[in-house]
Amino acid sequence: MSETKTVAGQELRDMFSAAASWLEKSSAEIDALNVFPVPDGDTGTNMMLTMRSTMDEAYRAPDHSAAGIAHAMARGALMGARGNSGVILSQIWRGLAQGLEEKEDFTAADLAAAFQQSAQIAYKGVSNPVEGTMLTVMKDAAAAAQAEVDAGNEDIITVMEATVNAAAESVANTPKLLKVLLDAGVVDAGGQGVYTILEGALRYLRGETELMRLRKPQIIVSDLPHVVSQPQSIAIDEVPYGYCTEFLLKGEKLEPEIIKKRLLKKGESLIVVGDDSAVRIHIHTLTPGNILQFAAKLGTMHQVSIRNMDEQHQDFLEMQKERMPITDTAVIAVVAGDGLSEVFGSLGAAAVVHGGQTMNPSTKDILQVVEATFSDKVIILPNNKNIIATANQVQALTEKKIAVVPSRSIPQGIAALLAFDYEAEFNTNSEIMEKALSSVKTIEITRSIRATKINGLKIKRKQPIGLLDGELIAVGDTNLDVINQLLSRLDLEKSEVVTLYFGEDAVEEENEQINSSIAAQYPHLQVETIRGGQPHYSYIISIE
Amino acid sequence: MAVKIVTDTLSDITSDLAEELGITVVPLYVRFGETVYKDRVEITSEEFYKRLVSEANLPSTTQPTPNDFLQVYEALARETDEILVIVVSSGLSGTYQSATQAKEMVKGKCRIEIIDSLSVAMGMGLIVIAAVNAVKAGANLDEAADLVRRAIPRTHVAYLFETLKYLAKGGRIGKASGLLGSLLSVKPILTIKDGELAPLTRVRSLNAGLDYLCSYAAGFSNIEGLAVEHATNRDDADQLVERLGAVYPKESIYRSVISPVVGTYSGPTALAITILEGEKK
């Protein structure tokens, strides 16, 4: 195959024009990915509209050199940038234009250098860059392009292939970097947009325009475990977002850096980009009036847009609510330890009240969480015998309908939550869940806080001790020793699953040792080891 | 002339049973990569599940073409002037569309009635069997169609999947997605609600799953028909049938294999129990 060593201005325009149409095809799907920074679901549309403006200007450019086209693209993007993602995209084109300065046509090395410039400028435009977004994707893509060039490759198509592959990997990796994405089970929408544009350009260079007409861009799927977010917990985390304020400021001798500094403390998600004659400003603020007043002194304002983000967010919450499984009952659980909180969340608990052994929550603590959930019917899992009475008091303090399923341990709470029946009525559900409590045995391993004699056991201070369903019946020199003693007391023939939740101070080797010891002694059991992160208890074990 | 009955392969009615009942079963298509097979005509269930596990990409399934239905209608129109078509829930497949489009193309006087079962598997299969019995007893097309429509709300399906893995891979499917994301390994139990997969609950052990399915069945006081289905785990299904003997005569329980469409989400180890409740007198 022949190599493509240089690309001229018109071809630069046509390749990104093809990329823009390519992006247009999946803008709706990209909208659906959008969760960061505010789940308003229009990243794909914003990027698409920005690209339209970008390419309109490129076609109007009088100068058909690569530099001339790139500059026109940058100008068009700045003028038409929409939303956060659009503004960052405009920075990418600005970097490209700077990188291709004075070039009639460009080589692979020029392109790689220009992409590097794009990534840098994109980061600079954002007041506090967040990794796991389109910034990261552009940076990773640019680095791959540079690496390919450094390896001696001169073929632009090969370099673009490396760029696009790196972008795809980077997109797939975004949930690892950004928890909101992980929780929502999506990749970053803006990153997906950048990938789609680069991929569209590559396809054009490969001569696949006919194919592009028939196909659609692929949405990258992350291979991470998919954690479905709980809309109720979004409500609890809710913070006021204020107004999304955007406009283009035109004037003379504008200084973007200084404007950025002045606005830095006025709100969130600040982006200030542009040059001395035009600056695009994007900020999430509670006081848009102040921002406009400030800007009015510097020049004229264009394309002013102020949107109430709380409304947008509310719409999003409503949308999420509709997507929720059919049930109108919320389950909340009292849990200590971040790992265990996540386990409860992943199984559908609407919210978690922090607390447990030695840190019993008050009735008010539980009540607050009850009131914060969407549902009017709430089932409470106290997960500790000392919290059951507290939970029972909640009913007297709320209009909501409350049922307390008296779980006395974490394993009991999880068994009850699992048994939740999506089709059952509230009362039936609390009965089903209560019945499930007895389906599980609980072992808790902790350390004695003092020397004592109990149940005929002589216990030294700090010695590992074991409780079976709340009763202290074993002491030993190691955790494993105590666990083995307790397991030997149980009839495990009919059991199938043993789950080991290790505490905040647990050591990995010991976890593995215990896991393999149980698996070796009881080969018919499926043993799962999960990080509970709980205090006090080295291990909480459920047997079912 | 007696009413002829047509259904699709998602009814999980085996070819032997179809022959016995004298009905026509139109196959859906299963696609692995570039190759397309007629469900359970060109690819057996065993082969499907074997490849489901071994291939990197999930298979997909597509509805029969309108032409597939047209050919069936035209062939049957030579023998009868009344055809009753009972197809898989339109919430799960576009089969209803194809069946309806084909009806528009049929020339001649043959009356064709197409009913969206809002169900799948033997849930729909049991309705088909009830319709066959009604026709044998002399029902005409309108009477049989009426019987089917009344039977739809009385069908119940519960699936026990061994893992969430395939459900997660297959992407969001309606309300069943609510079960995804569990940090513990759980076995989901699902039903068909409003024509779509929806969650019932989750269990952690096979025994607990069997317990659930048995008590699910026991929750119906008047069972007209009952079927048990498996994927590759026939032994588990045998065990379930054995235990269901307490609720319903074992020898009357229909047995079948879970279809590729649900199989794509269930994976190779799964059980289904389907029930047709008797009509309240």
pLDDT in tens, B182-218: 888 899 999 998 888 889 999 999 999 999 999 999 9
Q: Are residues A456 and A498 in the same domain?
A: yes
3-state secondary structure A212-223: HHHCCCCCCCCC
Q: Which chain A residues are closer than 8 Å to B186 by Cβ?
A: 347, 418
DSSP per-residue string spanning B215-275:
HHHHT-SSEEEEEEEESS-HHHHHHHHHHHTTTS-GGG-EEEE--HHHHHHH-SSEEEEEE
Q: Are A429 and A379 in contact (CB under 8 A)?
A: yes
Secondary structure (3-state) at B99: helix
Secondary structure (3-state) at B79: coil
Q: Are residues A412 and A394 in the same domain?
A: yes
Tokens of A315: 């719409």
Task: Name which of A29, A228, A544 to mutate to probe chain B: the one with the most chain B Cβ atoms within 10 A of its Cβ.
Answer: A228
- The shortest C-alpha distance from B14 to chain A (Å) reads 31
Q: A400-455 pLDDT, tens per residue?
A: 999 999 999 999 999 999 999 988 899 999 999 999 999 999 999 999 888 888 88
Q: A289-303 pLDDT, tens per residue?
A: 888 888 888 888 888
- What are the residues whose beta carbons fall under 8 Å from the beta carbon of A509, sequence distance 6 or more? none
Quick one: what percent of chain B has pLDDT higher than 90? Answer: 69
DSSP code, position A292: H
**Rounded to an integer, what distance in angstroms lies between the CA atom of residue A106 and that of residue A204?**
16
Paired with A354 in beta bridges are A335
pLDDT at A325 over 70: no
Which of B193, B200, B205 faces A497 most closely, judged by CB atoms?
A: B205
Average pLDDT over residues A133-161: 95
Which of A343, A348, A423 faces B200 most closely, judged by CB atoms?
A: A423
Tokens of B217: 């069945």
Written as one letter, the residue type at A314 is: Q
Query: What does the pLDDT read at residue B144?
Result: 97
B207 to A439: CB separation less than 8 angstroms, yes or no: no
| Alpha-carbon separation of residue A376 from A184, A380, A402 (angstroms) | 25, 13, 9
- The shortest C-alpha distance from A44 to chain B (Å) reads 20
pLDDT at A522 over 80: yes
Q: A440-463 pLDDT, tens per residue?
A: 999 999 998 888 888 888 889 889
How would you classify the pairing of strands B111-116 and B155-161? unpaired
Q: Which chain B residues are closer than 8 Å to A352 by Cβ?
A: none
Q: Which chain A residues are closer than 8 Å to B168 by Cβ?
A: 225-226
A343 to B198: CB separation less than 8 angstroms, yes or no: no
Q: What are phi and psi of A195, to 5 degrees?
A: -60, -45
Q: Are A183 and A229 in contact (CB under 8 A)?
A: yes
B184 to A526: CB separation less than 8 angstroms, yes or no: no
| Residue A510 structural domain | 441-543
Tokens of A100: 């291709």
Q: Which residue of B has its CA nearest to A347?
A: B182
Query: What does the pLDDT read at residue B80?
Result: 94
DSSP code, position B59: P
Average pLDDT over residues B120-132: 96
> Within a domain: residue A231?
no
**Rounded to an integer, what distance in angstroms lies between the CA atom of residue A148 and that of residue A144?**
6
How would you classify the pairing of strands A329-335 and A497-502? unpaired
Query: What does the pLDDT read at residue B91?
Result: 84
Q: Which chain B residues are closer than 8 Å to A225 by Cβ?
A: 168, 181, 183
Q: Which chain B residues are closer than 8 Å to A420 by Cβ?
A: 201
Q: Are residues A150 and A181 in the same domain?
A: yes
Q: What are phi and psi of A411, to 5 degrees?
A: -55, -40
CA gyration radius, chain A: 29
Q: Which chain A residues are closer than 8 Å to B178 by Cβ?
A: 228, 324-325, 348, 422
Q: Are residues A40 and A125 in the same domain?
A: yes
B182 to A347: CB separation less than 8 angstroms, yes or no: yes
Q: Are B236 and B213 in contact (CB under 8 A)?
A: no
Q: Are residues A160 and A14 in the same domain?
A: yes
Which region among A325-329, B131-135, B185-189 has the lowest average model confidence (pLDDT)?
A325-329
Task: Give how many domains chain A has, as a whole number.
Answer: 4
- A374-392 in b/e form (b: 16+ CB < 10 A) is bbebbbbbbbbeebbebbe
B207 to A494: CB separation less than 8 angstroms, yes or no: yes
**Which secondary structure element, helix H or strand E, spans residue A452, and what is its range?**
strand A452-454
Q: Tell me what the pLDDT averaged over chain A comes to.
A: 86
Q: Which of A85, A24, A39 is nearest to A323 (CA)?
A: A39
Q: Are residues A189 and A95 in the same domain?
A: yes
> Within a domain: residue A146?
yes
Q: Residue A377 — pLDDT band, cuts 50, 70, 90?
A: very high
Q: Are residues A331 and A408 in the same domain?
A: yes
A226 to B200: CB separation less than 8 angstroms, yes or no: no
Domain boundaries defined on chain B:
4-152, 154-277
Q: Are residues A142 and A48 in the same domain?
A: yes
Written as one letter, the residue type at B183 is: L
Q: Which of A1, A245, A7, A237 is nearest to A104 (CA)?
A: A7
**Rounded to an integer, what distance in angstroms lies between the CA atom of residue A467 and that of residue A460?**
16
Q: Are B80 and B1 in contact (CB under 8 A)?
A: yes
Q: Which chain B residues are closer than 8 Å to A423 by Cβ?
A: 191, 193, 198, 200
Q: Which of B103, A337, A168, A407 is nearest to A345 (CA)?
A: A337
Secondary structure (3-state) at B140: coil
pLDDT at A232 over 50: no
pTM (two decimals): 0.62
> Within a domain: residue A356?
yes
**Rounded to an integer, what distance in angstroms lies between the CA atom of residue A257 and that of residue B67?**
66
Q: Which of A142, A266, A164 is nearest to A220 (CA)?
A: A164
- The shortest C-alpha distance from B179 to chain A (Å) reads 7
| Alpha-carbon separation of residue A49 from A16, A86, A196 (angstroms) | 14, 8, 14
For tokens 């447990």, name the residue. A356
**Rounded to an integer, what distance in angstroms lies between the CA atom of residue A100 and that of residue B62?**
49
Q: Are A51 and A220 in contact (CB under 8 A)?
A: no
Q: Residue A241 — pLDDT band, cuts 50, 70, 90?
A: low
Q: Are residues A433 and A512 in the same domain?
A: no
Q: What is the CATH number of the domain that holds A358?
A: 3.40.50.510
> Within a domain: residue A1?
no
Q: Are B27 and B238 in contact (CB under 8 A)?
A: no
In this complex, how many residue pairs, one in chain A and one in chain B, have their CB atoms less than 8 Å apart? 77
**Rounded to an integer, what distance in angstroms lies between the CA atom of residue A77 and that of residue A51?**
7
Which region among A28-32, A188-192, B11-15, B249-253 has the lowest average model confidence (pLDDT)?
A28-32
A346 to B182: CB separation less than 8 angstroms, yes or no: yes
**Rounded to an integer, what distance in angstroms lies between the CA atom of residue A144 and that of residue A123?**
17
CATH for B154-277 is: 3.30.1180.10
> Is the peptide bond prior to B66 cis by the omega test (within 30 degrees of 0)?
no
Q: Are A464 and A447 in contact (CB under 8 A)?
A: yes
B178 to A499: CB separation less than 8 angstroms, yes or no: no
Most confident of A133-137, A275-279, A324-328: A133-137
Q: A16-40 pLDDT, tens per residue?
A: 999 999 999 888 888 877 665 555 5
Paired with B160 in beta bridges are B189, B271
Query: What does the pLDDT read at residue B191?
Result: 93
Q: Are A497 and A440 in contact (CB under 8 A)?
A: no
Beta strands in A347-394 (DSSP E): 351-354, 377-381
Q: What are phi and psi of A187, to 5 degrees?
A: -90, 170
Cα A503 to chain center, whole Å? 25
Paired with B121 in beta bridges are none
**Rounded to an integer, what distance in angstroms lies between the CA atom of residue A534 and that of residue A512?**
18
Which of B168, B193, B207 faces A496 most closely, judged by CB atoms?
A: B207
Tokens of A267: 């709100």
**Rounded to an integer, what distance in angstroms lies between the CA atom of residue A43 and that of residue A49?**
10
Q: What are phi and psi of B7, to 5 degrees?
A: -140, -175
How would you classify the pairing of strands B187-193 and B196-203? antiparallel
**Rounded to an integer, what distance in angstroms lies between the CA atom of residue B98 and that of residue A104?**
56
> Within a domain: residue A402?
yes
Quick one: what percent of chain B has pLDDT higher than 70? Answer: 97
The CATH number, out of the four listed (3.20.20.70, 3.40.50.10170, 3.55.40.20, 3.10.20.440), of the domain defined by the range B4-152: 3.40.50.10170
Written as one letter, the residue type at A337 is: G
Tokens of A290: 């102040």
Q: Which chain A residues are closer than 8 Å to B204 by Cβ?
A: 418, 496-497, 499, 544
DSSP per-residue string spanning A55-76:
HHHHHH-S--SHHHHHHHHHHH
Q: What is the CATH number of the domain that holds A447?
A: 3.30.1180
Q: Are residues A309 and A342 in the same domain?
A: no
> Within a domain: residue A363?
yes
Paired with B161 in beta bridges are B270
Q: How many residues does chain B have?
A: 281
- B66-95 in b/e form (b: 16+ CB < 10 A) is bebbbebbeebbeeeebbbbbbbbbbbbeb
DSSP code, position B39: B
Which of B186, B191, B207 faces A423 most closely, judged by CB atoms?
A: B191
**Rounded to an integer, what distance in angstroms lies between the CA atom of residue B241 and that of residue B255?**
9
> Within a domain: residue A235?
no
Q: Are residues A434 and A446 in the same domain?
A: no
**Rounded to an integer, what distance in angstroms lies between the CA atom of residue A301 and that of residue A276?**
14
Query: What does the pLDDT read at residue B170?
Result: 67
Long-range contacts of A462-468 (CB under 8 A, 24+ apart): A464/A538, A467/A442, A467/A443, A468/A441, A468/A442, A468/A443
Q: B159-188 pLDDT, tens per residue?
A: 999 988 888 776 546 677 777 778 888 999
DSSP per-residue string spanning A114-137:
HHHHHHHHHHHHBSS--TTSHHHH
Question: Domain boundary residue among A314, A347, A362?
Answer: A314
Q: Are residues A394 and A490 in the same domain?
A: no
